[in-house]
Amino acid sequence: MKKWVSILFVVAITVFALTACSKDDQKAEDNEDRENKVSEKSQAPKDVYPLTGIGTNEKVDQRIVGVMVNNHSNARPQTGLSKADIVFEILAEGKITRFLALFQSEQPEVVGPVRSAREYYFELANGYDALYIYHGAARFVDDMIKTRGIEHLNGAYYDNDGHLFKRESFRKAPHNSYLQFDAVVDVAEEKGYDMKRNYESLPFLTKDGISALEGEQAAHVEIVYSTNPMEIVEYDYDEASGKYNRSNDREQTVELETKEAIQADNVFIIQTHHEIIDDDGRRAVDIESGGEAYLLQKGKLQKLQWENRNGRILPIKDGQPVGFVPGKTWINVIPSSPGLEQSVHVSNE
């Protein structure tokens, strides 16, 4: 009898010890889970850049700066484009495009070459509440900028001052005017412009949203602005980076100094009405009415609509904004005649 009592006592002690260990293990796991959640929460970025959707622990209150960048063949490669959050590419005179580069999350040391203003560019910049920077303009365009209260810096008034603008000797005018970006805030504030802003973020996809992306396979996309003279833009999907590399007239678009490839996480191609308005070939471009669009993300193409909502150009599906992939965006604007189907060629090679 004593033997069985001893055995039962040992069993009871063992069960108690195992139960206690199990509770301790569960408690440790619960504590670890709580610590992980606290750690994840503490590591979450404090703010998000509104044009890229990228998180940061820095305070995001700097004003967007929009710069007119030359895309003449004599102006390539350009400087500073890899730092732009969004780049609009639209025809200027003839068949040559020009860029409006919007900077906020990154500030390059130099941007350029900088060229002259156009109405549709300064209206786009104003829609994003950006300071608009250009070098020269037709008198009627300058008058519109002033009359409409567009906050701006015109390089014609700072030409080669060595502070805000510098003429470089390795290129000839008008392809050699470069913005010294570090001087922008000081010069703008001297003019009385407020260079602090809080912006609503553009719509961006979550990780799950990116994983669920659907659409036509689009490894290579060619946009034909002109065949004579040649003005062809290409985007090639790089699976390793998950981004599109840009080329212009069969040459890869790179930074002048570093030869760094210009890449985009989103390529948004929209069609809209273009109209020649004077003997010099200047255009009016409709950036208000909306229309058909293609959106390239992660090697896939979606056929959507575009709308101007509160000044910002957004992809739309079934009346709702479509999210961008967090990162850089290039927006190519093409004439509705001949339009997307004739001007944009898509392949999976």
CA–CA separation, 147 and 138 (whole Å): 14
Q: Give the contacts of 306 (CB within 8 A, at least 6 positions apart).
A: 268, 270, 290, 291, 292, 293, 313, 314, 315, 316
Residue-level pLDDT at 118: 94
Q: How many CB atoms lie within 10 A of CB 57?
A: 9
Reduced to 3 states (helix: H, G, I; strand: E, B; else coil), residue 219 is coil
What's the confidence (pLDDT) of residue 89? 98
Task: Decide if 107 contacts 181 (C-beta within 8 A).
Answer: yes
pLDDT value at position 21?
Answer: 47
Distance of CA 24 to the CA centre of its chain: 51
pLDDT of residue 10: 42
Q: CA torsion angle for 42, 43, 48, 54 (degrees, to 10)? A: -170
What domains are defined for the chain?
A: 55-190 (3.50.90.10), 207-347 (3.50.90.10)
Q: For residue 30, what pLDDT is reported? A: 58
The model's pTM is 0.87
Q: Which of 106, 101, 162, 107 is nearest to 134 (CA)?
A: 101
Q: What is the mean pLDDT of each run of 10 residues along the chain (349 residues)?
A: 47 46 54 50 82 96 98 97 98 92 97 97 98 95 95 94 94 96 97 97 97 96 88 96 96 97 98 90 93 98 97 97 98 96 93
- pLDDT at position 165: 97
Nearest-10 Cα torsion for 27, 33, 38, 44: 180
